[in-house]
Structure 1
Amino acid sequence: MFTHVLNNPVGQIVGDWFLAGSGILPAWTMSGPMDRDLIFNEQLERCGVSYFDFYLLHSLEDGNNYDTYVKYDCFRWGMQKKEEGKIRHFGFSFHGTPELLEQVLNEHLEIDFVQIQLNYADWNNQVVHSGRLYEILHQRNIPIIVMEPVKGGMLANLQPELEEMLKAVHPDASTASWALRFVGSLEGVVTILSGMSTEEQMRDNLQTFGDFQPLTKEEYQVIEKVVKKMQDMSLVPCTSCRYCCDGCPSKILIPDIFHALNTARLYPTDNRPRMFYNNLTSNSSVKASDCIACGQCESVCPQHLPIIELLQEAVSRLE
């Protein structure tokens, strides 16, 4: 499941990639090409700098955001700013599908880095695709900046039985340190962004990376067991055979909605499942609430799932 172990501690590979100053261009604040410079110049002025070490097109994803960046020629604009010396490294943060990432990288070979959500819980998550996104970037030797290594704090506050599995191996290690070491043990990761809200959390992170120890094979196996336990917790056992889709009169993408629902069940405070659902339903123009309860899907489901009931849950959680 997890196969990439870093040979060099993360502190040795950061080097020039230390985030001394960074900025972002948000698609949703632009109404035309002229807004690129207006936003950028205001950011420089507010930060009191003449250039940014790192500058990102913010939150590329399938649909509106990526379309906006293409429409307003933001990739070429970013390279112009780099030529002017106002941006040292130009890239983007990404929240889309692996297919979109491949497309963007094929079309924009000039990209210096990509920022993705990456943690052990999302490695095989069919909404976030952390593992697949990592593999795409690593195969292309594109430097990776990691966001959400502790999944918004969720991996620092595991369910008691999961925390006990980690404590059995390292009684004095925090659960957050396991998540950080997982990300830090991956080749090609140059910077890890960890949101900290207390001095204790900062001290724990400093201790984790001050004497960084890549995960061992045995520790990977422990994490795999933790993830399996997490995935076994009240999830919809849909196998994505898609038999339910063929005869659905409303053309609802049932398995895809269940992927989002499962993630919402595991992480009720995470907004990503709703983002995925919104993109999915906006592209297909069909929502879970369009179910007419005809029962055709349930009659062909090999897993005998109560699909109508589950779609109603998706409506309450995701719409």
Structure 2
Amino acid sequence: MRIDLHAHSHVSDGTEPPAVLVASAKAAGLDVVALTDHDQTAGWQAAGEAALALGIGLIPGMEISCRSGAGVSVHLLSYLHDPHHPGLLEEIDKARNARIIRARRMVELLAEDYPVDWDLIARHAAPGATIGRPHIADALVTAGVVQTRTEAFSQVLTTRSRYYVGHYAVDAVKAVKLVRDAGGVPVFAHPVASARGRVVGQDTFEQMIEAGLLGLEINHRDNPEEGRQYLRALAKEHDLIVTGSSDYHGTGKPNTFGENTTSVEMLKRIIAAGTGSSPMGMPESF
């Protein structure tokens, strides 16, 4: 059974509508896929309907933008939480609003040097999507500034660029607690992805585990092998769920469905621990 627990639709920074994403997962030979848009659950219904129609399992999820106490960016995957939980909703609303303010300021700075404006960026985002750096990157491609989204991030939108603007993100330990309070299963996404920037230290892992972290996304293309070895030892020590995922974004990234997968045993642990919402269209073995 092929299980991929990390994918983004155009509700956040992917390029496919939720139903199309589910169809792509089915076409790629997956049996189960998770929809984990950034700070959004708006795609759950459409994805669930598509999953039921196509005969593929769907795990409703979300990727929460967080920050450690030391100021390091942390991404937390939440599976099967209650999408109406007030505490969690308050934090993701704050994050989305901060992203909009941040994006507008970045566009203002970029417009000083490149032929881009807010209207151009907005045309690259789906209705209701929170505009972020990926949409700005797509607009830079359209404007002929760069050739690809990846090039935009490495050359123009890097965190070291003068165009980069930070934004609010909930403390990672608080986010873990909120996900658990919402009946969800918190899994640390690509925890040692050093190519993306600074990664957290041992103290942050320990604090998140103490707060209720249940899993680590170990098999991910951005985790270097030496980091994976550390994560495997940590998972064994604390009996954590281990996942593998593609982090699929449609044509927004080179990541392909099923390039990393999660075992049936680990998915069963996620389903057993998640009480805030339910999987959809799961195979009979679940």
The structure with the greater share of residues assigned to helix is 1
Give the TM-score, by structure 2 length. Answer: 0.37
Between 1 and 2, higher relative CO (CA 8 Å, sep ≥ 6) is seen in 2
Computing the radius of gyration from Cα coordinates, the structure with the larger value is 1
